[in-house]
Amino acid sequence: MPSRHRRKAALLAPVTAAALVGTAVILAGPSPTVQAAGTGAAVAPAAVPATIPLTFTNNSRRGEQVYVYNLGTELSTGRQGWADANGTFHPWPAGGSVPVPAPDASIAGPANGASMTIRLPKFSGRIYFSYGQKLDFRLATGGLVQPAVQNPSDPNRNILFNWSEYTLNDSGLWINSTQVDMVSAPYAVGVKRPDGSVATTGRLKAGGYKGFFDSLRAQPGGWAGLVQTRSDGTVLRALAPGHGIEAGALPAGVMDDYINRVWTRYAGSTLTVTPFANQPSVKYFGRVSGNVMNFTNSAGAVVTSFEKPDSDSVFGCYKRLDAPNDQVRGPISRTLCAGFNRSTLLTNPNQPDTSSAGFYQDGVTNHYSRKIHAQMADGKAYGFAFDDVGAHESLVHDGDPRQAYVTLDPFD
């Protein structure tokens, strides 16, 4: 699954079994094989064919033409490109130092009330869809430039669109809905298992789309600034809070009070992190000294340290909470990131806290994530980058997938 690490010209980096989320501006560089993590046993390579069908259904109740895109990394070669409706791979041509228009990779989607089936190749990438207008993709020297609608000059700023992310490889299919970057056009994803059952996620409750935006607008503290509308009054999206800070739409210090209280608390007590559920003996112990939280192992040796994060580091799970793909700092950082966003670090000194009953209870929290989880039919969402800590993410997987689904849902 694509990396959660987002931001300005970041690469869509190596994948993990934890999630299919990412907010990269440039899609470039190979994605390695996913390792399943408690979501189903791996299967022999022969069990997964070269392509599988994806049924794309339009239940949006909207009349605009829908355009569909399948963009990503060809896993057998590491090349970046797009797949057509038959699942045939097309590599991107070279880009320019000034980004140049990409080839038209759009597939005409189904009308309201109709479905169509395309083929998914062994890819790690994104399935974009837009309403009423094709998306504007460009190619830079580093690869594909993704939409970055926190930038008011982005050519896709006034287009209603969204995307799902997936990886199909020899170990199966992982496909998710994502709100890591924004909440926009509603949809659900699914996978058909060998027994004919279908696992789905990403669907909002009845009234959940309007309910989310109404609730976000009513949240004190500047959260209403995350909502973007078009000149015709169409609600386009709500930016994720990190993007909101970047765009000046959310106060940069919105999480500071909670961060300060955490720092004060653990200057005089210990935060215990047990990052691997299947390795309960692996523990790290955090104590604050000045502006730094130092983590020691069971032998008392310092293994990593974190500077006091700012709100943007918390929301993006990067910068001062960077999480490299290693076995020490990354797992600790993802645990801290989840604890900050869910505001559980003061109520539970043993992390991760995986019970949703205690999430978002502090007045200073990631209200964007809180509100999208509250509106999901199954409670699952990717409200921030490491929302998979404790398996609260909107992801489905099967090691022997027979079919995938993306369903556009009503805007109610």
What is the set of active-site residues?
A: 165, 181
Structural contact between residues 28 and 142, judged by C-beta atoms closer than 8 angstroms: yes
d(CA 391, CA 325): 19
DSSP 38: S
The two tokens of residue 317 are 């799970």
SS3 224: helix
As given in the structure block, the two tokens for residue 51 are: 């392509």
Can you tell me the distance from the alpha carbon of 238 to that of 327, in angstroms, rounded to the nearest whole number?
34
CA 173 to chain centre: 16
According to DSSP, the residues that pair with 159 across neighbouring strands are: none
- For the record, the structure tokens of 314 come out as 């918390």
Tokens of 1: 């699954």
CA distance 170 to 127: 19
Beta-strand relationship, 350-351 and 271-273? parallel
Check residue 319 and report its DSSP letter.
Answer: G
Here the tokens at position 96 are 């320019």
CB atoms within 10 A of CB 196: 8
Cα-based distances in Å from 47 to 65, 98, 141, 284: 36, 43, 37, 40
Burial degree of 247 (CB within 10 A; 0-12, 13-18, 19+): middle
- Could you tell me how far CA 219 lies from the centroid of its own chain? 23
Residue 182 has phi, psi (to 5 degrees) of -170, 160
CA atoms within 13 A on the CB side of 46: 0
Q: Strand (E) positions, 37-146?
A: 51-58, 66-74, 79-83, 89-91, 100-101, 107-108, 115-121, 123-131, 138-140, 143-145
Residue type, 17: A
CA distances from 12 to 5, 102, 148, 308 (A): 8, 18, 14, 26
